[in-house]
Structure 1
Amino acid sequence: MPEWKIGLDLKQLGAVDIGLPGWMRGAAIGGALGASVRFNTPADIVKRYGPHGPMQFIDVFGKPGAITSDTQLMLLALDGIVRAHVRATWYERTDPVNEVALGMRRWLVMEQDGWFPRANELFERRWADRTTVEAIRHYMRTGTFGTIDKPLNDSQGSSALLRAGGAALWSTDLHEVFEIGARIAAMTHGHPNAYLAAGAYAVMIQYCLRTRNLIRAIDAARDELTRWKGHEPVHEALTRVVDAQFDPAKKFDPATMESFGDSTTAIGALAIAARAAISEHRFEYVVGRAITIAGDSAATGALAGSLYGIAGGGNYLPEELVAEVELSERMGTLAYQIRREFSDEPLYSEEFFSWFPFSQRRWSGHLG
């Protein structure tokens, strides 16, 4: 390996064996639970399911435990990050955002290229975000996505967040993680509130891989935010989240959770999810607080579940939900493959390279 090898040395991180699958499965479970109450009012949710919302899967997309479109794109983004890292080990200058872009295109055209995308469940239509779909179509017509400097739109929707977390794998440098996460979000969502919230989320994921301390991860994200122009709205939202943790009169009713922001926006969804994730040690209560709201409960549930899972909660996810959530076994295998690829003992078999065939197009910087 060259000395400039990028990525985390996951072999050295004690939280990884539970954190990686916990991250994916937590997001998948939280998104599925949130999807089941997405169009309900908080009063209706509490009346039907109790104060913590649904604790079992409900048939939303044709079967219980089906993942959402945000989770599909998150998983394909992770697949793309692995492909980019495989390419980088062959001494090619590599921009991981290019492979994430191809993964997003793959999702829209249902191209089952490689091992992970062979899962049909990744391509079923599950409330796909219109902004994301239009951005991918633009890419297919022009070969370009939006960038931070040249945005496609002014959208600040929440769907840009989950897939940006894949940036956490690319580097141990939090500056770089933030930038890549922000760039992944800016491909589809051009408002600074969206891509800066996504950069903050990526930093939180990366920090939790190493420390499992979510409050310190939020602090690290706030610190990185101050380096970016226009960071104040995201920084203020996360500061309110941390301050609320030390409020003696803690409240987690729907009105209080909704006070952290509009769940349909990236800032609001991240703040609600982060508040829920640091509120409790039990997964059902964390996700319940994130989804017993009006708005995009599928997004807040997925984000809260991912933060809970990455912060060492993989061993504490409800066993029955882990067993029932769509692609659970496949996510476990992907987590193992990621851990091996980003270690000093990567897999070199022909079979492994056939699982993650990276693009033959050399780096061009057109997404940067």
Structure 2
Amino acid sequence: MATHVSRSARAVGCLVGGAVGDALGAPVEFFDLNEIRRQYGSRGILALEPNSAGLAHVTDDTQMTMFSGEGLLEMRARERSREQCSAAGRRPVDNTGMRPVLEAYHRWLVTQGSRPETGPGTVYAGMREDAVSAVLSAGKLVHVPRLRARRAPGATCLEALQTGVHTTPDRPRNNSKGCGGVMRVAPVGIIAADPVSAFRLGFQLAALTHGHPSGYITAGVLAFMISMLMDGEDLARTAQQAIAVARNPALHGGCPTAPGDSGEETARALEQAIGLSASGAPATPETVERLGAGWVAEEALAIGLFAALTFPRDFPSAVRLAVNHSGDSDSTGSICGNIAGAIIGAAAIPRLFCQELELRREVRRLAIGLNDARGLTADV
């Protein structure tokens, strides 16, 4: 008999699972498969590597996921305020769209030892320095000491955020489809009102840093999938619906300048992952590498999905498969962990993984808060 998994348990499983996959893949992120096997044996890395304090480090993937969540919670608070003002017949506060998430990312940038530009053309143009400083010190996460650590942050994210400009799908500043957009969107699937809202919010969130349609549409697709899984949907069925979403231009309304087939790379990558899983291909690194290396968004999602489909109820095996290859191991592990954790819930993730995980309490609290705030729409 299947065990019922509450929505709250799925939320915690999703974010904690992502952090575990991130931490498992971190030590081998820049190793090729031969080096992984040389250092860890034929099966590759199998367990977290705690430091002298007994904690396994997460990377920028988990850091940015957490700041995504903080920004989304602020968006939801402002949305609720507008709803309350409207119901009371008062003038609602302005809809600032994705700006709370962008500001949260700028606070992450501060933890990396940098700051956004504040001059003309930026979101801070015309603001006094003390007002900018207030934004960059708001919230809780920027004050968490363990988040003030550089863990190989992605160049695209750093460069895009340093400009201080609010980019959108129709006003991109680069043509990147790196996985730095997709690896941080899982919180969207938890807080969104519905899967379509999750898709639209997810691609707008990724477009804050990544300008290629495959970069942000893939992010929207992962957010869509997490939203479906949060409600107990089957992963195989979710993946098939995600393909349809990727290929539906009517849902890409926030990216009017994108070509009509802008979701095709994402859809084909998902189809390849599903096909490999259904074919009974061996669960080996060589099979994983048929999907790519994971440095770009659609490949990272395909690898994470393949691993989760191959071991839908076996979290350790899923994340181990997702990280042991020659590519972007922490990001593919994180995405797999998000998906697998949303399916099985927090209680089914082995205790040892969680006990050794850096920031586990903060990640858990964030997941619960996002689930409690569920209802964010794509009206941004």
* TM-score class normalised by the smaller sequence: 0.7 to 0.9
Partner of 1:9: none
Q: Distance in 2 between matches of 1:129 and 1:18?
A: 30
Question: How far off is 1:334 after superposition?
Answer: 2.1
Q: Distance in 1 between matches of 2:369 and 2:194?
A: 22
- Distance apart, 1:337 and its partner CA: 2.4
Is residue 2:167 matched to residue 1:152? no
Distance 1:34 1:14, change over 3 A: closer
Paired residue secondary structure (2:28): coil
Q: Distance in 2 between matches of 1:252 and 1:61?
A: 33
Shift of 1:173: 3.7
Moved more, 56-65 or 40-49: 56-65
Alpha-carbon distance in 2 for matches of 1:93, 1:208: 32
In 2, the alpha carbon distance for the partners of 1:19 and 1:54 equals 26
Q: Is the 8 A contact 2:206 2:219 kept in 1?
A: yes
Identity in percent: 27
Question: Which residue of 2 is the match for residue 5 of structure 1?
Answer: none
Match of 1:98 in 2: 99
The SS at the match of 1:54 is coil
Query: 1:34, 1:298 within 8 Å by CA — same for their partners in 2?
Result: yes
Contact 1:68/1:126 (<8 A) preserved: yes
CA distance in 1, matches of 2:225, 2:247: 15
1:177 corresponds to which letter in structure 2?
A
Q: Which residue of 2 aligns with 1:300?
A: 332
Query: What amino acid is aligned across from residue 167 of structure 1 in structure 2?
Result: V
Change (3 A) 1:57 1:150: same
SS in 1 for 2:98: helix
Matches within 5 A, 1:191-210: 191-210=212-231
Q: Hey, what does 1:360 align to over in structure 2?
A: none
Q: 3-state SS of the aligned residue for 1:90?
A: helix
Maintained 8 Å contact 2:191/2:373: no
Shift of 1:105: 0.4
- Aligned pair partner of 2:149 in 104, 124, 128: 124
Over 3 Å counting, the alpha-carbon distance change for 1:112 and 1:42 in structure 2 is same
Report how far residue 99 of structure 1 moved.
Answer: 1.1
Q: Is the 8 A contact 1:52 1:285 kept in 2?
A: no
Deviations 1:269-328 (A, max 9, x none): 110111001111222211111111112111111111111111124222110110110111
Letter in 2 for 1:146: T
**Which consecutive residues of structure 1, in runs of 5 or more, have no partner in the other structure?**
1-12, 344-364
Indicate how the Cα distance of structure 1 residues 290 and 14 shifts in structure 2: closer, same or farther if over 3 A, else same: closer
- Between the aligned partners of 1:69 and 1:52, the Cα distance in structure 2 is 26
Pairing 1:291–2:316 present? no
Equivalent of residue 220 in structure 1, options 233, 241, 244: 241
Distance 1:314 1:169 in 2: 14
Q: Which residue of 2 aligns with 1:108?
A: 109
- Matched pairs, number: 328
Instruction: Please give the alpha-carbon distance, in whole angstroms, between the structure 1 residues aligned to 2:238 and 2:52.
Output: 34
Question: 1:15: how far off?
Answer: 3.3
From 34, 50, 53, the counterpart of 2:44: 53
**Aligned CA distance change for structure 1 residues 219 and 61 (closer, same or farther; 3 Å):** farther
Q: What whole-Å deviation, never above 9, does each CA across 1:28-75 have from its counterpart, x for those lacking one?
A: 111111011112221332343345432322257997411111110111
- SS at structure 1 position matched to 2:193: coil
2: CA distance, partners of 1:279 / 1:121: 34
| Native 8 Å contact 1:193 1:233 kept in 2 | yes
The range that moved more, 122-131 or 165-174, is 165-174
Over 3 Å counting, the alpha-carbon distance change for 1:47 and 1:270 in structure 2 is same
Aligned to 1:240: 272
The RMSD of aligned alpha carbons is: 2.3
- Indicate whether 1:266 and 2:297 are aligned: yes
**Cα distance in 1 between the residues matched to 2:194 and 2:8:** 21
Distance 2:53 2:217 in 1: 35
In structure 2, do the counterparts of structure 1 residues 160 and 233 end up closer, same or farther at CA, with 3 Å as the change threshold? same
CA, structure 1 residues 67+245, in 2 after alignment: closer, same or farther (shift >3 Å)? same
Answer yes or no: is the 8 Å Cα contact 1:287–1:305 preserved in 2. yes
User: How many Å apart are 1:14 and its aligned residue?
Assistant: 5.4
Q: Residue 317 of structure 1: which of 343, 349, 371 is its match?
A: 349
**Counterpart residue identity of residue 113, structure 1:** A
Where does residue 77 of structure 1 map in the other structure? 68
Q: Give the letter for the 2:352 counterpart.
A: E
8 Å contact from structure 2 (residues 167, 208) kept in 1: yes
Please report how far the alpha carbon of residue 232 of structure 1 lies from its aligned counterpart in structure 2 after TM superposition. Answer: 1.2
Relative to structure 2, which stretch is displaced further, 147-156 or 60-69? 60-69
Aligned-partner Cα distance in 2 for 1:63–1:132: 29
Could you report, residue by residue, the CA deviation over 1:137-184 in whole angstroms, capped at 9, with x for unpaired residues?
111xxxx23211111111111111122233224533433321211111
Using the size of structure 2 for normalisation, the TM-score is 0.80
Secondary structure of the residue aligned to 2:180 is helix
Q: Distance in 2 between matches of 1:43 and 1:252?
A: 17
TM-score, scaled relative to structure 1: 0.83
